[in-house]
Amino acid sequence: MSLALSLVRRRTLLAAAAAILLPLSPVHAQQGAVPEITPAEAQAQAKAGKITLIDVRTPDEWRETGVAPGATPINLYHPGGAEGFVKEVIARVGAKRDTPIAFICRSGNRSSQAQRLLAAQGFTNVYNVREGMSGSAAGPGWLKSGLPVEACKVC
């Protein structure tokens, strides 16, 4: 193999790796690639019917703290795996890939995973509730902000 062909292949592999890894990098996230909203914003938009709020925590967590009013509980660790999770989200919001969806979890980690998963499936209007229910370094979270909760009806 010629040196020129070897360099072209290396550049191609590096470009492919960058395309995969860049969306996960903190610098890229800071540039707005990972849309985030606060719990108060999520609550206001869900209450106004402008966004579908999906709680991706576990059934034990839903029972322990309750869920945001109007939130749909769909465990990210779905028995059907990632495919089962995506199918359940689609069943909730329909096949329209531009439906506004906000994911919330305990601290913002699983909800950002759910957000990336749906974005990879072609959904274009997905948000991470960055502080989660219990809070994180990003802020106090839903519960400590005094936002309303209700008992989980499907737990």
Predicted local distance difference test score (pLDDT) of residue 33: 57
The helix/strand/coil state of 138 is coil
Predicted local distance difference test score (pLDDT) of residue 28: 32
Strand order in the sheet with 72-73: 36-37, 126-129, 101-104, 52-55, 72-73
Question: Rounded to an integer, what distance in angstroms lies between the CA atom of residue 99 and that of residue 141?
Answer: 24
Burial class (CB in 10 A: 0-12, 13-18, 19+), 52: buried
What tokens does 128 get? 């991470």
Do residues 131 and 39 make contact, with C-beta atoms less than 8 angstroms apart? yes
Predicted local distance difference test score (pLDDT) of residue 18: 37
Crossing angle of helices 81-93 and 109-120, rounded to 10°: 80
- CB crowding 74-94: b at 16 or more within 10 Å, else e: bbbebeeeeeebbebbbeebe
Predicted local distance difference test score (pLDDT) of residue 155: 80
Predicted local distance difference test score (pLDDT) of residue 119: 94
- pLDDT per residue of the chain (155 residues) written in tens, 0 to 9: 544 434 334 443 333 333 333 333 332 333 445 799 999 999 999 999 999 999 999 999 999 999 999 999 999 999 999 999 999 999 999 888 999 999 999 999 999 999 999 999 999 999 999 999 999 998 999 999 999 999 998 88
The helix/strand/coil state of 27 is helix
